[in-house]
Structure 1
Amino acid sequence: MMRHFQKKFSRRRIMKFIALGTTIPLFNILMNYAHASKASKESMQYRDEPNDKEQCSNCMQFIPGKTPEAQGECKVVEGSINSQGWCVAYTKK
């Protein structure tokens, strides 16, 4: 009877469980921090005008506003973003 209990709750299994239990919350905190921190407009050289055919509306990072006239957001740059704007993080869709 004691052997079954010892097999089921070995020291190794307990240590793995503790390690996993502390790693998952830390990973979630780091991922939330990565999503929360965006670069400033200045550091990304953001401007409200396009760079030839490159503009925020056809960039993978751009999140459109609720209406076509509304300012959008960016996954990389903080603040409201003009769909006609451009920055160095531009990545064509």
Structure 2
Amino acid sequence: MSLVTGLPSAALSRRLTLRRMAAVAGGAALLSATMSSRRAVAAGNKVTQAAAGYQESPQGDQSCDSCAQFVAPAACKVVEGNISPGAWCKLYVKKPG
């Protein structure tokens, strides 16, 4: 018996194992979605705004107008659609210099 919970150690171990498995599965799904977007970009295909995690507001000091992928006045080399200079997505790459 575990002194902390009053449950048998085997039950506590099973519960912990199931929680860890759920966390690993969630992480794998997130990684898969991110890698799919990056593969599409690498192949020269534009990804949807949803797949890129596009949002209309900047992320700290990162915004589309300071991204190497941004094409003024309102486009992107890797994300489809109308792109706001003050927006941001997870494919952000800071302009060199």
What is the TM-score of this pair, normalised by structure 2?
A: 0.52
What is the TM-score of this pair, normalised by structure 1?
A: 0.55
Q: Looking at CA atoms only, which structure, 1 or 2, has the larger radius of gyration?
A: 1
Q: Which amino acid aligns with 1:86?
A: W
Shift of 1:74: 0.3
Q: Which residue of 1 aligns with 2:93?
A: 91
CA shift digits 1:52-86 (9 cap, x unpaired): 00000000000011xxxxxx100010001000000
**Does 2:70 align with 1:62?**
yes
Question: What CA distance in whole angstroms lies between the structure 2 residues aligned with 1:53 and 1:41?
Answer: 20
Structure 1 alignment gaps of length 5 or more: 1-33, 66-71
Q: CA RMSD in A?
A: 0.9
**Does 2:38 align with 1:44?**
no
Structure 2 alignment gaps of length 5 or more: 1-42
Give % identity. Answer: 38
User: What is the aligned length?
Assistant: 53
Please list every run of at least 4 consecutive aligned residues from structure 1 whose deviation after the TM superposition is greater than 2 angstroms. Answer: none
Q: Which residue of 1 aligns with 2:81?
A: 79
